[in-house]
Amino acid sequence: MKSVLYLDHNATTAVKPSVADAVTEAMGVVGNASSVHGPGRAVRRIIENARDKIAVAVNARPERVIFTASGTEANNMALQNRTGERVLVSAVEHPSVRNVVDHDVITVDGQGRAKVDGLSEKLLELDKPALVSVMLANNETGVIQPVKDIVRIAKSSGAMVHCDAVQGFGKMDVNMVDLGVDMLTLSAHKIGGPQGVGALVLAPGVEIKPLIKGGGQEHRLRAGTENVPGIAGFGEAAALAARELAEFAKLARLRDQLEEEIYRIAGIKAYGKDALRIVNTSYLSMPGVSAETQTMAFDLEGIAVSSGSACSSGKVETSHVLKAMGVPDAGASSAVRVSLGWTTTQQDIERFTSVWKSIYNRLGQQQNSARDLAEAV
Amino acid sequence: MGAEMKLNENRTSSFGLSDMESPASKAPAIYLDYQATTPTDPRVVDVMLPFFSEKFGNPHSTAHVYGWQASDAVEAARAEIAGLIGAEPREIVFTSGATESNNLAVKGLAGFYGDEKNHIITVKSEHKCVLETCRMLERDGFDVSYITPDENGLIKADDVAELIQERTLLVSVMAVNNEIGVIQPIAEIGALCREKGVFFHSDCAQAFGKIPLDVKVMNIDLMSISAHKAYGPMGIGALYVRRRPRVRLKPLFDGGGQERGMRSGTLPAPLVVGFGEAARIAGEVMQPENARFEKLQQLFLSTLDETGVDYNINGDMKHRFSGNLNLSFAGVNGETLMASLHGLALSSGSACTSAAVEPSYVLKSIGLSDDLAAASVRIGFGRFSKDDEIVRAAKEIGSVAMKLQHAGE
């Protein structure tokens, strides 16, 4: 395993050492946070400390941070149970936003940015209050969405805004007050925290109904015994991520170097390159080589990359993100996502581009010449 | 037994159980709240740790070795858990805990079949999350029948039979009660439900890993289980969903379609792996552990008798998980009792409600008055409980309660 180069940090990233310590320590503390005895109170303190750290990291109020089991659950919580509201969702959202309720689509431009033009008219046409859901940064392209512009327009027509910040958090500044959103989704395992914990953060005054009912945990908004070690790790990871943002920003140099090299080899530009992007993500097509073939070839060379997002199916589907951006099928079916993380080094980039080149020369060229041949006939 | 004691010492040194301090004394509190949560077994922690660091992959990443490694470990854990309840691995749907599983079972079934059938039968002493979910469904037009248990906390299959109608969709009865530890006649109720063509869900959060369970023998269609009540990690549970005959559910949330579309969201591989290890250990130690708990239970009661205190045991003693006792002390103010007990971590009712000082609805459902229900304590012991702790706890509870009884006279 040691020699495998992991470049799939947007799927999940290794838990940072101090986070692992926080998780391990919390696993050694016995108690249910709802119990009133000493151990119960000790566990309660662990949870509230973590909640404070997350609130500070996104500039929200601690009592408005609701812990969930995942970003998916937080997104569902934000969008479900909103009876009577019209919902508008950008075309490039994560399935846990897109698949939840009937909605109108906010289209994106060729760079994958949600189109702000016409949104105001669309909102004014609606006879009901509306909820707009736009992600902070896209998980496949890394493109940063014009959330503040959307908030401004939404507010002027009285609409609420939910923002899935799962991929943005830890990779760029996330300030809930500055963004002006009403609801914000976070996930621990994308920022070096443990899998199995997320949060929905609410602006003051925003009300929401629970998805999971039972005990009175999380201000009655999310029943179930709290995942204490997970929450402890999430708190530590959030504090670290906020502190290490400048360090993370340095990945831009490595990512740019990678993209320049690919451009030099094959004249290929990353999807969304002309938009603002988070610094670690590069979504690249290799002409003539399917994403499946590429990921297999990279795997044989000990490099872990992914064809779009890591979800359930195992079946290879063309990316809805690229489709929304108007990328032709040939491009979309040969797109592979490279996402760097806190463990990525200069040598890793050199290794990746050299393997990319050899796969391209071996498979890309062949297919091209075969096609040229076919066209010549 | 020897191995368990050794394990306990291990745990105290490396995981700081001894750091737990009661508010009133500097001595470590004796943990008697095993029904609220159990310590994570050190063996469970050991198998989890690599999945945070070097084996950190997303189990749904299908394109590389990190993903496969995590996914293989998840599937091995799934098989281990399925094996402990006589299920097929693919009948296990991972969730974040038993509360989510109970919500998914009841709401999910109602969401899928609600147009055809809209009557649910459950029991007044079920866990709050089942009752709350049923109340929500009542607001949506469902009818719910709540069975009152007898004075020992038990119901009979006949109680259920009387209530089954043409439009009954679901019977939901827990296996082991979280407050009074009684074991309901699950197999009889399961057989009845199968015969009548009604779905049977059982909340087995307190039973999984503690008493033998078999979804086939017991004719259970949906079973909620939790890791942290069985020495596994918090934040992970599962719902068993029968495939033959098929039970269909409307998911609680949508997204990437993980867990066969029934539960979207990245599976937390370290937690799943820990859950699997907890199930493996439970299968190994369940029998000797229960024999030991029976002795601890007797030891507690005989020590309590020696103090001369006047007490009642709530819940049937014959049909009961032996790691639980629930005692009432007549003539004692419950809050005063809890405040006077030093060095003990225990609960006066279910943990979910103990933040609000309300008499337990479970105890009220078996006929206790508000005062007597409030003057009750739940004593839970488990894998790391020691004989001398049980003796000390019984002496403390007995002497304090007796003093308060006498003061009240």
Interface contact B136, partner A, CB < 8 A: yes
Judged by CB atoms closer than 8 Å, whether chains meet at B338 and A312 is answered as no
CATH code, domain carrying A323:
3.90.1150.10
Domains of chain B: 2-41+285-408 (3.90.1150.10), 44-280 (3.40.640.10)
Rounded distance between C-alpha atoms, residue A175 and residue A75, angstroms: 18
Interface contact A37, partner B, CB < 8 A: yes
What is the enclosing helix (H) or strand (E) of A280? none
- Structural domain includes residue A299: yes
CA distance A50 to chain B (A): 16
Tell me the pLDDT band of B357, cut-offs 50, 70 and 90: low
Tell me the pLDDT band of A365, cut-offs 50, 70 and 90: low
More confident residue, B127 or A41: B127
**Nearest chain B alpha carbon to A230:** B235
The number of residues making up chain A comes to 377
- Structural domain includes residue A257: yes
Q: Would the pLDDT of A316 be above 80? A: no
* Residue A208, pLDDT score: 92
CA distance A277 to chain B (A): 23
* Residue A228, pLDDT score: 96
Specify whether B134 is catalytic.
no
* Residue A309, pLDDT score: 58
Q: Would the pLDDT of A313 be above 70? A: no
B61-90 pLDDT tens trace: 888 999 999 999 999 999 999 999 999 999
* Residue B140, pLDDT score: 94
- Structural domain includes residue A361: yes
* Residue B28, pLDDT score: 75
Tell me the ipTM for this assembly. 0.90
Positions of E strands within B273-370:
312-313, 324-328, 344-345
B228-264 pLDDT tens trace: 999 999 999 999 999 999 999 999 999 989 999 999 9
Nearest to B79 by CA among B366, B225, B275: B275
Q: Would the pLDDT of B199 be above 80? A: yes
**Domain coverage including residue A352:** 5-13+247-376
More confident residue, A35 or B319: B319
* Residue B182, pLDDT score: 98
The residue-averaged pLDDT of A227-248 equals 96
Q: What angle do CA A67, A68, A74 make, to 5 degrees?
A: 110
* Residue B394, pLDDT score: 98
Q: Which of A193-197, A315-319, B93-97, B222-226 has the lowest mean pLDDT?
A: A315-319
Q: How many domains does chain A have?
A: 1
* Residue B334, pLDDT score: 79
B110-166 pLDDT tens trace: 999 999 999 999 999 999 999 999 999 999 999 999 999 999 999 999 999 999 999
User: Looking at the partner chain, which of A31, A38, A224 has a beta carbon nearest the beta carbon of B100?
Assistant: A224
**Nearest chain A alpha carbon to B57:** A12
User: How many Cα atoms sit within 13 Å of B383 on the Cβ side?
Assistant: 30
- Structural domain includes residue A255: yes
- Structural domain includes residue A333: yes
Tell me the pLDDT band of B6, cut-offs 50, 70 and 90: very low
Catalytic one among B129, B193, B204, B352? B352
Judged by CB atoms closer than 8 Å, whether chains meet at A23 and B14 is answered as no
Rounded distance between C-alpha atoms, residue B270 and residue B236, angstroms: 10
User: Looking at the partner chain, which of B33, B36, B257 has a beta carbon nearest the beta carbon of A312?
Assistant: B257
Interface contact A80, partner B, CB < 8 A: yes
Show residues of chain B in contact with A31, CB under 8 Å: 20, 33, 36-37, 345
The residue-averaged pLDDT of B342-353 equals 72
Interface contact A217, partner B, CB < 8 A: yes
Q: Enumerate residues 52 to 71 of chain B having a beta carbon within 8 A of any beta carbon in chain A.
A: 52-58, 60-67, 69
* Residue B409, pLDDT score: 63
CA distance B195 to chain A (A): 31
What is the enclosing helix (H) or strand (E) of B95? strand B92-95
pTM of the model: 0.91
Interface contact A312, partner B, CB < 8 A: yes
Nearest to A224 by CA among A197, A249, A246, A251: A197
Taking only Cα atoms into account, the Rg of chain A, rounded to an integer number of angstroms, comes to 22
The residue-averaged pLDDT of A39-44 equals 88
- Structural domain includes residue A364: yes
